[in-house]
């Protein structure tokens, strides 16, 4: 646990040194969501209908974009092997790394989403529900992606495969996130899909760090 916190602190320091990546990630998110509305040339009503889906998909993709940073540099310079040799449970290592990753790559998306939602013509309660779904869904997505990143850490160009491994399992999270926002936009209660997202997050928190730790061990040199 204490070593886990030390890893967390270390991760933050490294990410702030690599602040360019954080900016790139946020810029990618904003720019890609705007691209959809520019290219489609949709009128306002349709735009509001598509908003939640577009924002969710782009959020997922921009998080995947940053995923190779999670283990690849540490694997290449040997830090990861040393960490695995230490007394720390690799599950804690995976959880700490995923947590730091979410804070710098997931949280900004959650905070920005009301703004982008508004630009898509979402209004009222939907602008509260959209960030709520992202706040519940993105940590679970990061944990899923952590497992995939650990499985593909040894591969040179593993991003494509990583995405392919994450996307099918990410599907339910995506569906419930979008559904909740759509229900909110139409004035229906959203408790059920939000609870589902919460359940996914708890399940992911309980099981996936362990799987990611095992994956790190399995693919270690």
Partner 1 sequence: MRLPNWLHKLASPPHFYRIAARIEPWMLWSGLAAIAVGAFGGLLLAPPDYQQGDAYRIIYFHVPAAYLAMQLYALMAIGSAIGLIWRIKLAYAIAAAAAPVGLAFTGLALATGMLWGKPMWGAYWSWGDARLTSVLVMFFLYLGYMLLHASLEERSTADRAAGILAVVGVVNLPIIKFSVEWWSSLHQGPTISRLAAPAITWDMLWPLLVMVAGAVLFSMAVTLTRARAEVLLRERGARWVQDAVAADA
Q: Do 206 and 88 contact (CB within 8 A), yes or no?
A: no
Select from 155, 159, 198, 205 the one that contacts partner 1 (CB under 8 A). Answer: 155
Select from 171, 195, 199, 202 the one that contacts partner 1 (CB under 8 A). Answer: 171
Q: Does 97 bind partner 1 (CB under 8 A)?
A: no
Q: Does 68 bind partner 1 (CB under 8 A)?
A: no
Measured between alpha carbons, how far is 7 from 90 in angstroms, rounded to an integer?
11
Q: Does 152 bind partner 1 (CB under 8 A)?
A: yes
- Total residues at the site for partner 1 (CB under 8 A)? 26
Q: Does 147 bind partner 1 (CB under 8 A)?
A: yes
Select from 70, 129, 179, 182 the one that contacts partner 1 (CB under 8 A). Answer: 179
Q: Does 151 bind partner 1 (CB under 8 A)?
A: yes
Measured between alpha carbons, how far is 93 from 98 in angstroms, rounded to an integer?
8
- String of DSSP letters for 3-54: HHHHHHHHHHHHHHHTHHHHHHHHHHHHHHHHHHHHHH---HHHHHHHHHHH
User: What is the CB neighbour count within 10 angstroms for residue 202?
Assistant: 12
C-alpha of 5 from chain center: 20
x-or-dash pattern for partner 1, window 196-215, by CB under 8 A? -------x---xx--x--xx
Q: Does 141 bind partner 1 (CB under 8 A)?
A: no
Q: Does 193 bind partner 1 (CB under 8 A)?
A: yes
Residues 163-179 as b or e (16 or more Cβ within 10 Å = b): bebbbebbeebbebbbb
Measured between alpha carbons, how far is 51 from 56 in angstroms, rounded to an integer?
9
Q: Does 165 bind partner 1 (CB under 8 A)?
A: yes
Window contacting partner 1 (CB under 8 A); options: 7-15, 69-77, 129-137, 145-153: 145-153
Measured between alpha carbons, how far is 217 from 212 in angstroms, rounded to an integer?
9
Q: Does 159 bind partner 1 (CB under 8 A)?
A: no
Residues that bind partner 1 (CB under 8 A): 147, 151-152, 154-155, 158, 161, 164-165, 167-169, 171-172, 175, 179, 192-193, 203, 207-208, 211, 214-215, 218-219
């Amino acid at each position: 646990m204490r070593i886990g916190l030390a890893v967390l602190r270390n991760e933050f320091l490294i990410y702030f040194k690599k602040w360019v990546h954080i900016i790139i990630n946020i810029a990618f998110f904003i720019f890609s969501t705007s691209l959809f509305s520019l290219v489609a040339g949709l009128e306002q009503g349709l735009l509001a209908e598509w908003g939640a889906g577009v924002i969710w998909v782009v959020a997922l993709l921009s998080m995947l974009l940053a995923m190779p940073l999670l283990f690849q540099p540490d694997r290449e310079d040997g830090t990861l092997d040393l960490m695995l040799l230490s007394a720390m449970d690799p599950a804690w290592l995976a959880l700490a790394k995923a947590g730091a990753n979410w804070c710098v790559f997931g949280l900004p998306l959650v905070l920005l989403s009301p703004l982008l939602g508004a630009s898509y013509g979402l209004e009222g309660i939907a602008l509260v529900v959209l960030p709520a779904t992202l706040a519940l869904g993105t940590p679970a997505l990061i944990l899923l992606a952590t497992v995939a990143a650990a499985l593909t850490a040894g591969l040179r160009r593993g991003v494509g495969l990583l995405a392919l491994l994450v996307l099918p399992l990410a599907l339910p999270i995506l569906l419930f996130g979008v559904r909740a926002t759509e229900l909110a936009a139409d004035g229906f209660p959203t408790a059920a899909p939000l609870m589902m997202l919460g359940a996914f997050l708890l399940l992911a928190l309980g099981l996936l760090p362990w799987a990611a730790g095992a994956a790190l061990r399995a693919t270690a040199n």
